[in-house]
Structure 1
Amino acid sequence: MKNFHLNYVKKYNGSLSILFLHANASSLESFKYQFSDESLKDYTLWAIDLPGHGDSAKAENPSEVYSIKSMGEIIAEFINQNISQPIVIVGSSLGGNIAIEASSKINNLNGLFLCGTAPLSRLEDLGEAFLPHPSNAFSFLDVPNEDQLNALCELAVGNFNQHYQLIKEEIKRSDNNFRSTLLSNITQSLFSDEKEILSELSVPVAILQAENELVVNLDYLKKLKILHLWKNEIQLLNGAHHFMHLTHPKEFNLLLNDFVRELIR
């Protein structure tokens, strides 16, 4: 996994870093409202295109790279090589699973901020962790058609259709091999016990859930045992959708600011 080319952006130069990890078939562009928000200018902001996404490299050996476990190793390696400051990782959906996977391998982790993420322990969790929406299966298609692309946009942002073009472009730019390979690797349980990691993790963990979530099951999240759950409860964003950082950036950024400020008090 060493020297896998990851595209990234960096902004500002604060004493604490915030690193953003995007969802399946998305890119770092999805965090544009976080990078344009001056309320976050006191921190060093980083965002990475996951392997096979955006301008990051496509894997020559997809089955070895496109798993939660392998991508967690790649992200941890990037952080340890490039970021010496204390760091908070913001993970959207799959990005949150990768953040959990990476957490035990990061030297300077101060917190996890997870949004629209369903932590998994075993393959059997999938049925309870995710809602039975018919469009969820489209997330693992190599080449979704136009109707399926529209359905995926609706899953991510509901009727906030000003974001549809960006989401479609990100899906089309991503490696067609990524989604089916990821699913295959998930069915082979190529991920750590994420629930156990959260139950033992020594840093604060924020869990955000959108009111209009169509992907992750809130009842499943409520059963998680997290050692240091921020505010001792899941944070619900009224009116928001799965990509809450896009549909409700103001509310999202306020919560992120609150979380980070509590860490550095």
Structure 2
Amino acid sequence: MKSTFISSDEENIIVLLHGNSSSSKVFKDLRLNNSVLIPTLSGHEINENPDDNIDFSLQFYKQELISLINSYDQPILLVGNSLGGHLAMEIANQIKKLKGLIIFSAPPVKKPINFEEAFIPVEALQTFLKEKSTDEEIASAASVTVYEQKFTEQIVSDFKNSNPKVRSATAEDLFNGNWSDQYKSFTNLKCPKVIVSGSHDPSVNKEYLKKVVKESSHNTSYIELENCGHYPTLERPEEMSTIINHLAGDVFKLHLK
């Protein structure tokens, strides 16, 4: 698994996980105060990393991420967008030095998956679960995901630079019940947690997110960003930088005590 590590004077690490058919570019405008690790999920950014015959299953991603993150043996704040948020919840209990978790555009689902409760059905977004799509379908899906249309170019570019088999593998895992009980993992996780939601995220049920926060143990909060869609770090990088830096400051201070 390819990854980028940006070192700072801090030993603590913020791990940023991108979503399905996305890339590390959705994090490019963040300004963070700690060292940062950005894994590139196999099958993404394929102009740089072909990944012709790689497994794109959830299980493979989990194994790769757990191995990579734990190899640093440092205090970790996990941050995940969309599929990256779901992956963060899938692996959280296996990250040895996990200190905090931030997820966005990723409702903690139950098992079997509570589609109707956690998600809002949007026909255009089915494109993110299909191997073959027309340019028109891709453009339509990208347009729906963001509040300001100036961000669609990045979404389309990332989509086209990802292996189509990533999408079919994600769909297979999703509909075959291969995801764990993320609701149980999230609500019972004994570290500070934040759920961020864009006010105009088309696919996630915000009332469900608020319910999850109320039912969570430990320190859990919900933050909604105005005029924002499915990609808060791309659409609202200043606000997201503040949110991430604030939680990082809190959880890494707790680590030092």
The residue correspondences of 1:185-200 to structure 2 (distance < 5 A) are 185-200=173-188
Partners of 1:175 and 1:53 lie apart in 2 by 6
CA contact (8 A) 1:240 1:247 kept: yes
> Residue 33 of structure 1 aligns to a residue in which SS?
coil
Match of 2:160 among 172, 188, 192: 172
Distance 1:7 1:220, change over 3 A: same
Match of 1:99 among 75, 88, 112: 88
Matched, 1:9 2:40: no
The residue correspondences of 1:74-113 to structure 2 (distance < 5 A) are 74-81=64-71, 83-113=72-102
Partners of 2:103 and 2:247 lie apart in 1 by 11
Amino acid corresponding to residue 74 of structure 1 in structure 2: E
Aligned length: 248
RMSD across aligned positions (CA): 1.7
Matched, 1:228 2:223: no
Matched, 1:121 2:113: no
Partners of 2:211 and 2:104 lie apart in 1 by 16
> Residue 194 of structure 2 aligns to a residue in which SS?
strand
Q: Which residue of 1 aligns with 2:148?
A: 159
Distance 1:78 1:59, change over 3 A: farther
CA contact (8 A) 2:66 2:95 kept: yes
The residue correspondences of 1:119-158 to structure 2 (distance < 5 A) are 119-158=108-147
> Residue 144 of structure 1 aligns to a residue in which SS?
coil
> Residue 62 of structure 2 aligns to a residue in which SS?
helix
CA contact (8 A) 2:42 2:54 kept: no
Amino acid corresponding to residue 7 of structure 2 in structure 1: Y
Q: Which residue of 2 aligns with 1:53?
A: 44
Q: Which residue of 2 aligns with 1:30?
A: 26
How far apart are 1:52 and its partner, in Å? 1.2
Amino acid corresponding to residue 58 of structure 1 in structure 2: D
CA contact (8 A) 2:43 2:54 kept: no
How far apart are 1:196 and its partner, in Å? 0.7
CA contact (8 A) 1:160 1:247 kept: no
TM-score, with structure 2 as normaliser = 0.90
CA contact (8 A) 1:23 1:92 kept: yes
Q: Which residue of 2 aligns with 1:209?
A: 197
Amino acid corresponding to residue 66 of structure 2 in structure 1: A
CA contact (8 A) 1:133 1:215 kept: yes
User: Over residues 54-83 of structure 1, what are the superposed CA-to-partner deviations in whole Å (9 max), with x where a residue is unaligned?
Assistant: 245636364xx422x4322221111112x1
Partners of 2:190 and 2:178 lie apart in 1 by 24
Identical-residue share of aligned pairs (%): 23
Structure 1 unaligned residues grouped into runs of 5+: 1-5
Partners of 2:170 and 2:241 lie apart in 1 by 30
Amino acid corresponding to residue 240 of structure 2 in structure 1: F
> Residue 28 of structure 2 aligns to a residue in which SS?
helix
Partners of 2:155 and 2:76 lie apart in 1 by 27
Match of 1:72 among 62, 65, 68: 62
CA contact (8 A) 1:210 1:240 kept: yes
Distance 1:70 1:193, change over 3 A: farther
Q: Which structure ranks higher in relative contact order (CA pairs < 8 Å, sequence separation ≥ 6)? A: 2
Distance 1:264 1:80, change over 3 A: closer
